[in-house]
Structure 1
Amino acid sequence: MFLPIFFIFSFLFSSTNAADFCVGDLNGPVGPAGYSCKKTATEDDFSFSGLRTAGNTTNLVKAAITPAFSTQFPGVNGLGISIARLDLAVGGVIPMHTHPRASELILVMDGTLFAGFISSDNKVYSKSLNEGDIMIFPQGLLHFQINTGKTQSVAFVSFNSADPGVQILDFALFTNDLPTDIIEGTTFLDAAQIKKLKGVLVGTG
């Protein structure tokens, strides 16, 4: 009598491992639910060392983002979590942007950041953040971070999605072929300013 019960429990517990996680198969297709599951997972799928190294801040915004999303860290695929590292040189900025699929929590590790977001009723919530401070940016809302200190700033940002997505406002407007007259009519910027920004951000139109 006890033997069949033992086999039933053994089957139940062994079969649940397959549903514990879905390490992303980066060679397969990706859809709204993420990557399809890798057939065989290893310990390396559940660890990531990419956030040890500072990003390159010698660019237009003097900042770098190093993501550990499902594309870089397939172990988080389907788990609804991810993380990234922010490095900002003095005066560096993470421009106005949104994450359409996740809320964001920032933890300042070094330096000082001025950060904020704009709610859907256009109210601004902003604050100066120091080492050890955290701040939340609700899903889909425009937000930003600026290094207002005199030293390099480092922060880690976590998301409640393995693939939070990002849309940077300036890049969305000025790095593509959206016609200048359309941007002028929808933003109230003058054509000369739009063409200047398109020139800086390599846009056309």
Structure 2
Amino acid sequence: MATLQISSSLFRSFFLTLCLFVIPSLSSDSDPLQDFCIGDLKASPSINGFPCKSAVSASDFFYSGLGGPLDTSNPNGVTVAPANVLTFPGLNTLGISMNNVELAPGGVNPPHLHPRATEVGTIIEGSVFVGFLTTNNTLFSKVLNAGEVFVIPRGLVHFQWNVGQVKARMITAFNSQLPGAVVLPSTLFGSNPEIPNAVLTRAFRTDVTTVQNLKSKFAG
């Protein structure tokens, strides 16, 4: 009987140990079951992207929307041409996307973050001051020139500023088909419904007049 109890105890220990190794392996992404899944943008998206459209052609795998020049005559002096699943459905379920970003002299891509992706970028033309902030408010920044590359960790606030005398251009890439962008100025002061003035005056240690003035610049 004692031998049987010991064997049972050893079996339970072995089984529990085996579960610790097996269960995590089941939590990884499944292997793809198809070569591609061109997104059907007329359908509602699911958790992992859009449903696959049935009729596929060669044009689904090519995209020409990253060309320029772009019109940067706006208050920030920056324009972004995206190649994500919404503009290039061939990226559906592939976990990648790109942007063409152009900045006028002095133009700023304002502080923003991408909640679903890490960003890597290459300066194509001009000189760009690139910076990002860590969660303990440390700023990492550098002026980059054509041919140099930067990386922004996922979810961290960052910005780009054209410090040159001519238009700057960069190509950025993301490990998400739709990385999303939370642009802090317009998010905080242009939300709909509005964030209460009391919250913003307390958060920014300012007065209601200043907050309302800022909201007027981002309204609509």
Structure 1-normalised TM-score?
0.88
Q: What's the CA shift for 1:57?
A: 0.6
Structure 1 distance, partners of 2:36, 2:162, is: 37
Greater shift, 65-74 or 189-198, is seen at 189-198
Q: Aligned-residue CA RMSD in angstroms? A: 1.6
**What do residues 81-103 of structure 1 show as CA deviations (whole Å, max 9, x unaligned)?**
11010010011110000000000
Aligned to 2:11: none
Aligned to 1:154: 169
Q: Tell me the amino acid that sits aligned with residue 179 of structure 1.
A: P
Match of 2:214 among 190, 197, 203: 197
Match of 1:106 among 113, 121, 129: 121
Structure 1: 4+ residue segments shifted above 4 A: none
Greater shift, 29-38 or 166-175, is seen at 29-38
Percent identity of paired positions between Structure 1 and Structure 2: 37
Structure 1 distance, partners of 2:203, 2:48, is: 33
* Secondary structure of the structure 1 residue equivalent to 2:185: helix
**What do residues 177-204 of structure 1 show as CA deviations (whole Å, max 9, x unaligned)?**
112111112232332221111111116x
* Secondary structure of the structure 2 residue equivalent to 1:145: strand
Aligned to 1:50: 65
1:89-168 alignment, distance < 5 Å: 89-168=104-183
Could you tell me which runs of 5 or more consecutive residues in structure 2 were left unpaired when the two chains were aligned.
1-31
Structure 2-normalised TM-score?
0.82
- In structure 2, relative to structure 1, the CA distance for the partners of 1:101 and 1:84 (3 Å cut) is same
Structure 1 distance, partners of 2:33, 2:155, is: 33
Q: What's the CA shift for 1:18?
A: 6.6
Structure 2 distance, partners of 1:189, 1:127, is: 31
| Aligned length in residues | 188
Structure 2 distance, partners of 1:96, 1:32, is: 28
Larger Rg: 2
**What do residues 158-189 of structure 1 show as CA deviations (whole Å, max 9, x unaligned)?**
00000001100001111121121111122323
Aligned to 1:178: 195
